[in-house]
A and B are shown apart, each in its own frame.
Chain A
Amino acid sequence: MTQWIEIGTLDDIPRLGSRVVRTAAGDIAVFRANDDEVFALDDRCPHKGGPLSQGIVHNKRVTCPLHNFVIELKSGEAVAPDQGCTRAHPTKVENGVVWLSLRQAAPAAAE
């Protein structure tokens, strides 16, 4: 069952920008695309762990501030020629409120 957590309002996140959600398991970067779609990724670049929340957002992608890996906001996949993937988390926006569902790091046996 998906467990949704309310994390704030859409207005709290700048368009083509992002905000950070702190969790015990590390930061989550929450992005807002130009069309107000919201995405969430682990705030760690697959390259060398750069904080994706600090990158420039464009066309549903974000460019990592450290070495310019470009990451798809939806899947967390690096855009070729770069390779790697960061974990994406489901989000939804209802009446201007942003909800996040944390995908846990898979426990050893699961999936």
Chain B
Amino acid sequence: MLEKINKQKLVVIGNGMAGIRTVETLLERAPDLYDITVFGSEPYGNYNRILLSPVLSGEKSVDDIMLNTEQWYDDNNISLRKGETVVMIDRRTCEVVTAEGARVPYDRLLIATGSNPIILPIPGKDLPGVIGFRDIHDVNSMVEASNSRKHAVVIGGGLLGLEAANGLMKRGMNVTVVHLLDCLMERQLDPVASGMLRKSLEERGMVFKMPAQTQAILGDDHVTAVRLADGSELPADLVVMAVGIRPNIEVARKAGIHCERGIVVSDTMQTYDGRIYAVGECVQHRRQTYGLVAPLFDQAKVCANQLAMKGFASYPGSVVSTKLKVTGIDLFSAGDFAPGADKEEVVMQDAARGVYKRIVLRDKKIVGAVLYGDTVDGPWYFQHLRDGTDISQMRERLVFGAANLGDGGHAGQNSAATMSDEAEICGCNGVCKGTIVKAIMEKKLFTIDDVRAHTKASSSCGSCTGLVEQVLAFTLGGDYSTAPKIKPMCKCTDHSHDDARRVIIEQQLKTIPDVMKFMDWKTDNGCHSCRPALNYYLLATWPGEYRDDQQSRYINERVHANIQKDGTYSVVPRMWGGVTTPGELRAIADVADKFKIPTVKVTGGQRIDLLGVKKEDLPAVWADLNDAGMVSGHAYAKGLRTVKTCVGSEWCRFGTQDSTGLGIKIEKFMWGSWTPAKVKLAVSGCPRNCAEATCKDVGVICVDSGYEIHFAGAAGLHIKGTEFLAKAATEDETLEVICALTQLYREQGWYLERMYKWCDRVGLDAIRKQVVDDMANRKALFGRFSYSQQFSQSDPWAERAQRGVDRNEFVPLAELELA
């Protein structure tokens, strides 16, 4: 099915963390697409730069931090040109030129040159013994110096400087840190935390000169001292400059690629030359440059997607958090904590325990956090920060962290056990707890190395190793319990959603009371959370057989309209594929006039919303809309909502296929289906993607050769680009894949679990296998979907407006004069 493409040449400049992560991801997505050549100035395979600090302090060896051996490059047919530096990009002939003069052609080029340490322009900066802290070479020089010499001066009291100072101290040197400001790590810490950090480093023997400015480095053929602006001199046999980094944009700039502070890239990681991509510290994206790996890995993923020609992932920028990797010091910081009039703070300080926490809030949300001494809740705060969670409900208890918010479980349980599945454990690689737990269970992992290999958690900076170990212990059941923790549906039962779904099928249970009885529900008739869930499971399992229980439906689904804050309803008629007619518009206008509907609004799903309809008017409103040929848009349903389309090849000069027609076809086939949570679709007529298909539950991008089907996007509380699912050649095939996918989701999803969450839980590959690879299974899923549609495609409005279904809902029981 896939057309065979001649192998294109991909050249990568920079054998560092971002570049190679991009290549790794690319190989996963599209193993055979490119002939890959990687240039790296350093004479090694790819290593974990972050862990240079523990190498310096002697806690790890260089071998420990190698990420990809040369064998790996061989195994993957990558030609590694280590020790070779690219000095020029010839964009006219599409070639790169090395220092030795070799020319290598490219079809696509990836620049990942990282950054260089900033060397202060002061006298003596070029003396032997003055170095930066960036690569293995620097570390080797420092280790060598520490063997024979005594005094080290580190210029710069930021993250890097302190890690260098700590390492050198561990190696037995006397270390003085010279810092320009009176606050260490001022970009990550507030003055209080910074003071605490300084104190505990001083207790270990580190000496600080701050605020102090370095004026000159002294010495004849080797550094001997550092002179400060106040005239004082510090003896020095080694000077480490750690005052910052500067994106390494040399080659790019010389080639005329647009650069500012870094190489300017778009959301798809492309430079101004469309064949040339860039990722990593050398990049400037939306005016930001980054110096930590987590955002670079995000970039790498997007870039790999692009290079793989799969999907249209885009990079929206990152929020970063920091941990200092000095053994014995626990420090976490994230977000923005500069004081401001619009911000509030929650501060806790326990001098005796050496614990300090400061959470900065704005508009009921966490915008910044600094933790010192006790950082286990760092990832938890960070998650809320990134999610923009409204924390007003938990404000009082916020500083005590996740374990103190009531849903924590038993006292004495460790912190990883109380974290939610979505909580991020490994910040560098963006791995959340649920992913680790799942990998441990499914892949039968037992050691931290297994977990690293399978999930990448704890494989970069290593700060989360402790947490990952806790997750391992509690998932495998240390002394606590051997059974994996299952999440009950709600307080009415100890059983999980999966249990309920399984038992319904195994025991052929066909009513809610039967399920509750069989599964020993703890309440008589459930609650607002489990009843709708069971109702859906029964409906999805026994189409045509199960009688929908109206009293277990949320009000919107019971009355087929959306309840508003004042108890009135909103009504949204279906507009197939977002297309309407003058007649429909006229009917809508008439209805609005007749029933004095206060607000008429266009929705995000390309339809019209009539807001403020009184409940008792609903049937009459529907009757009028029905008369004009309109039916319910299910804008209230945990079911198929809309299929948004662009105008496609019918009108648009870029259109490759009839996106509007396809959208309508899909909507006509799929409307009325109930799903675990709402399902929104979109079809775009070309990769310009005017229908915004790549943030929908299911999105189709038309291309010349067919239809790319994407899914598992989200653009609500969470924002997530879609994943590529499959490419189809025809409209019918597209429809079949989408219906099969939806059916699998209907059969596996937990109630209220959006498609992207389901995908996260069961895994992209598992879904692809069942929907794309296994043709017989796809047909079977499609068959089951079609079968159940027979029973669901009856307009609920017509049933109520014309056939008197549920009439009781819409009229009062009695009207009393007196009162």
Q: CB-nearest residue of chain A relative to B815?
A: A22
Q: What is the CB-to-nearest-CB distance from B806 to chain A, in angstroms, rounded to a whole number?
A: 9
Residue tally, chain B, CB below 8 Å to A: 28
Digit string of B804-819 for contact with A (CB within 8 Å is 1, else 0)?
0000100011111111
Q: CB-nearest residue of chain A relative to B813?
A: A19
B417 within 8 A of A: no
User: Known: A20-B813, A24-B819, A54-B567. Is A63-B523 also a contact (CB below 8 A)?
Assistant: no
Taking CB atoms and an 8 Å cut-off, the chain A residues in 48-64 that contact chain B are: 48-51, 54-59, 61, 63
B531 within 8 A of A: yes
Contacts of A55 in B (CB 8 A): 528, 555
A78 within 8 A of B: no
Q: CB-nearest residue of chain A relative to B406?
A: A81
A21 within 8 A of B: yes
Contacting A54 at CB < 8 Å: which of B527, B552, B563?
B563
Taking CB atoms and an 8 Å cut-off, the chain B residues in 574-627 that contact chain A are: none
Contacting B816 at CB < 8 Å: which of A15, A21, A68, A104?
A21
A57 and B551 form a contact (CB under 8 A):
yes
Whole-angstrom CA separation of A63 from B563 in the bound complex = 14
Among A20, A34, A48, A50: residue with most chain B CB under 10 A: A20
Q: What is the CB-to-nearest-CB distance from A20 to chain B, in angstroms, rounded to a whole number?
A: 5
A16 within 8 A of B: yes
A106 within 8 A of B: no
Whole-angstrom CA separation of A104 from B816 in the bound complex = 14
User: Known: A14-B808, A23-B819, A65-B563. Is A7-B814 also a contact (CB below 8 A)?
Assistant: yes
A8 within 8 A of B: yes
A25 and B819 form a contact (CB under 8 A):
yes
Contacting B551 at CB < 8 Å: which of A8, A19, A56, A70?
A56
Q: What is the CB-to-nearest-CB distance from B817 to chain A, in angstroms, rounded to a whole number?
A: 7
Q: What is the CB-to-nearest-CB distance from A56 to chain B, in angstroms, rounded to a whole number?
A: 4
Contacts of B552 in A (CB 8 A): 16, 56
A88 within 8 A of B: no
Q: CB-nearest residue of chain B relative to A17?
A: B551
Whole-angstrom CA separation of A14 from B526 in the bound complex = 17
Prevailing SS type, chain A contact patch:
loop
Among A8, A51, A54, A56: residue with most chain B CB under 10 A: A56
B777 within 8 A of A: no
Contacts of B559 in A (CB 8 A): 54
B555 and A65 form a contact (CB under 8 A):
yes
Whole-angstrom CA separation of A17 from B806 in the bound complex = 12
Taking CB atoms and an 8 Å cut-off, the chain B residues in 329-381 that contact chain A are: none
A102 and B812 form a contact (CB under 8 A):
no
Whole-angstrom CA separation of A23 from B522 in the bound complex = 38
A14 and B524 form a contact (CB under 8 A):
no
Taking CB atoms and an 8 Å cut-off, the chain A residues in 1-37 that contact chain B are: 5, 7-8, 12-17, 19-25, 27, 30, 34
A14 and B528 form a contact (CB under 8 A):
no
Q: CB-nearest residue of chain B relative to A3?
A: B818
Contacts of A49 in B (CB 8 A): 566-567
Taking CB atoms and an 8 Å cut-off, the chain B residues in 22-62 that contact chain A are: none
Q: What is the CB-to-nearest-CB distance from B720 to chain A, in angstroms, rounded to a whole number?
A: 26
Residue tally, chain A, CB below 8 Å to B: 37
A21 and B815 form a contact (CB under 8 A):
yes
Q: CB-nearest residue of chain A relative to B566?
A: A49
Whole-angstrom CA separation of A5 from B527 in the bound complex = 31
Contacts of A7 in B (CB 8 A): 813-814, 816
A22 and B525 form a contact (CB under 8 A):
no
Contacts of A50 in B (CB 8 A): 565, 567
Q: What is the CB-to-nearest-CB distance from B440 to chain A, in angstroms, rounded to a whole number?
A: 34
Contacts of B556 in A (CB 8 A): 65
Contacts of B566 in A (CB 8 A): 49
Contacts of B814 in A (CB 8 A): 7-8, 21-22
Whole-angstrom CA separation of A25 from B817 in the bound complex = 10
Contacting A16 at CB < 8 Å: which of B525, B554, B812, B818?
B525
Q: What is the CB-to-nearest-CB distance from B59 to chain A, in angstroms, rounded to a whole number?
A: 47
B532 within 8 A of A: yes
B550 within 8 A of A: yes
A14 and B550 form a contact (CB under 8 A):
yes
Whole-angstrom CA separation of A59 from B525 in the bound complex = 6
B813 and A102 form a contact (CB under 8 A):
no
B524 and A59 form a contact (CB under 8 A):
yes
Contacts of A66 in B (CB 8 A): 563, 565
User: Known: A50-B567, A56-B532. Is A12-B816 also a contact (CB below 8 A)?
Assistant: no
Q: What is the CB-to-nearest-CB distance from B535 to chain A, in angstroms, rounded to a whole number?
A: 10
A12 and B563 form a contact (CB under 8 A):
no
Whole-angstrom CA separation of A88 from B760 in the bound complex = 46
Contacts of A22 in B (CB 8 A): 812, 814-816
Contacts of B565 in A (CB 8 A): 48, 50, 66
Whole-angstrom CA separation of A2 from B392 in the bound complex = 44
Q: CB-nearest residue of chain B relative to A32?
A: B551
Whole-angstrom CA separation of A30 from B808 in the bound complex = 13
Contacts of A5 in B (CB 8 A): 816
Taking CB atoms and an 8 Å cut-off, the chain B residues in 760-819 that contact chain A are: 808, 812-819
Whole-angstrom CA separation of A16 from B308 in the bound complex = 54
Q: CB-nearest residue of chain B relative to A29?
A: B813
Contacts of B527 in A (CB 8 A): 56, 58-59, 61, 63, 70
Q: What is the CB-to-nearest-CB distance from B394 to chain A, in angstroms, rounded to a whole number?
A: 11
Contacts of A23 in B (CB 8 A): 815-816, 818-819
Contacts of A12 in B (CB 8 A): 808, 813
User: Known: A54-B555, A55-B528, A56-B531. Is A21-B563 also a contact (CB below 8 A)?
Assistant: no
User: Known: A16-B525, A65-B555, A66-B563. Is A30-B819 also a contact (CB below 8 A)?
Assistant: no
Digit string of B662-676 for contact with A (CB within 8 Å is 1, else 0)?
000000000000000
**A-B contacts, 30 listed (Cβ < 8 Å):** A7-B813, A7-B814, A7-B816, A8-B813, A15-B551, A19-B812, A20-B812, A22-B814, A22-B815, A23-B815, A23-B816, A23-B818, A23-B819, A24-B818, A27-B812, A34-B525, A49-B567, A50-B565, A50-B567, A54-B559, A54-B563, A55-B555, A56-B528, A57-B551, A58-B526, A59-B525, A59-B527, A63-B527, A65-B555, A70-B528
By a beta-carbon cutoff of 8 Å, the part of chain A in contact with chain B is 5, 7-8, 12-17, 19-25, 27, 30, 34, 48-51, 54-59, 61, 63, 65-66, 68, 70, 102, 104
List the 3 closest pairs (A to B, CB-CB), nearest first.
Answer: A63-B528, A19-B813, A24-B819
A12-B813, A58-B528, A59-B527 known; 9 other A-B pairs, CB under 8 Å? A7-B816, A23-B815, A23-B818, A24-B818, A51-B567, A54-B559, A56-B555, A63-B527, A66-B565
